[in-house]
Amino acid sequence: MQVETQHIQLAASSVVRQVLANGRNLTQVLDDTLREKAAWQPAQRAALQDMSYGTLRFYGQLRVMLDELLHKPLPDERVRFLLLVALYQLQYGKSAPHAVVDHAVRASQTLSPRVSGLVNAILRNFLRSQPALLEQAAQHPEGRYSYQQWWIDELQAQYGERSKTILESGNQHPPMTLRVNHRRGSVSDYLASLMQLGLPARITGPDALQLDKPVSVDKLPGFFDGKVSVQDAGAQYAARSLDVHDGMRVLDACAAPGGKTAHVLELAEVEMLALDKDETRLQRVEENLRRLGLSARLLAGDAAAPEQWWDGKPFQRILADVPCSASGVVRRHPDIKWLRRRADIDGFAVQQREILNALWRLLEQNGKLLYSTCSVFQQENEQVIATFLAQHQEARRLPVVLAGHPPDANEGQLLPNDQHDGFYYALLQKIA
């Protein structure tokens, strides 16, 4: 099926509008849109995803430049989102500028016939004034970093000069990292298999391989046979930090979609309970385990209310990968940068403390609990743990062994870089 670029631009502008104007989740909107465009070719679907992700990734910069180009409000907000997509293509895409402009003009005619001349003028003015517009955008923090102002202020207050690197890392394309299933083969053997297929990669952890270039999973040897999974290197630290051994009773308290659950089971023969509040998301856990040839007991339940589902038998290891702002994984989910509000962070911290206190009661004497988030905000990480330790004299904090890689900042805090996303880990042991 031949799909003209203007139709992809229109679809991407609709995706971006649903996220920014309606507050919808980018992944869900894209999934819905791609189902509607089932007849599109892979290249067209990839272009839609790139335009949608890219426009949201650099929305702050694109918005400032568009505002400089507009001299009066647009008659239709849909045209504004189309212009943002086109600006992303002109600034970051590889298509010929004249083609991007021409397609955007055609696309605008389907939205409002009277605005095509305006769209043409705005985009051609951008091409003439591009260096000056980029410089003007850089004068505004939101235009320079493409985050909300409160987010920028928060990171600057917590990390000082390091905040610039954190912000910039969040706007990069994320690496594609694999986790080799040790039950099906070694990391070195799988690396050799990749090389034979012309897929260069490098070892970045005891179970991790980072591909030089991302590929679809159907290109990965043995993926559907359970030899390998896609999982960020930072997320892979959880299972090894938990210090699991054969025969242990283990709880993964917020398990979906199941990557960490599976990794624990790949490392040891344990009695695993995979819990998640969302019964639908537990289906993803089941699918992942089935592909990998692993098994666990799956249970829908609220980690903050164990009295509703716990059988009274203590666990020797608990993984508390708690709900969080996901501020450490924004390069994979750029919509988060624009949908989160400052008040959300305090709300997550309240929920995290509730879950941590509830799960602590389920841990046996001398057992270990690993607290984990994919956040870089201290309110959800170090401050939660400090409050917990002050209230629980029977809790001792242990060093987190991050596969030989020292944390980037505070103990257990991994900041996003070219090898992994941003994560936080705190290992707690219950003592007498």
Nearest CA to 326 among 226, 419, 232, 230?
Answer: 232
Task: Give the whole-angstrom CA distance, residue 286 versus residue 274.
Answer: 10
Eight-class DSSP state of 416: P
Eight-class DSSP state of 347: H
Task: Give the whole-angstrom CA distance, residue 321 versus residue 352.
Answer: 9
Task: Give the whole-angstrom CA distance, residue 387 versus residue 379.
Answer: 10
Eight-class DSSP state of 313: -
Angle between helices 342-360 and 149-159 (to 10 degrees): 60
Longest dimension (CA), the chain: 75
Q: Which residues are catalytic?
A: 374
3-state SS record for 247-309: CCEEEECCCCCCHHHHHHHHHCCCEEEEEECCHHHHHHHHHHHHHHCCCCEEEECCCCCHHHC
* C-alpha neighbours within 13 Å on the C-beta side of residue 417: 12
Contact between 240 and 403 (Cβ < 8 Å):
yes
What string of DSSP letters covers 141-208?
Answer: HHHHH-S-HHHHHHHHHHHTTHHHHHHHHTTSPPP-EEEE-TTT--HHHHHHHHHHTT--EEE-SSSE
| Residue 53: CB atoms within 10 Å | 22
319: three-class secondary structure by DSSP: strand
SS3 content of the chain, % helix, strand, coil (to 5): 50, 15, 35
**Distances in whole angstroms, Cα of residue 150 to Cα of each of 25, 156, 338, 352:** 21, 10, 11, 22
Contact between 216 and 230 (Cβ < 8 Å):
no
Ramachandran region, residue 271 (left: φ > 0; alpha: ψ -120 to 50; beta: rest)? beta
Contact between 193 and 199 (Cβ < 8 Å):
no
| Residue 393: CB atoms within 10 Å | 8
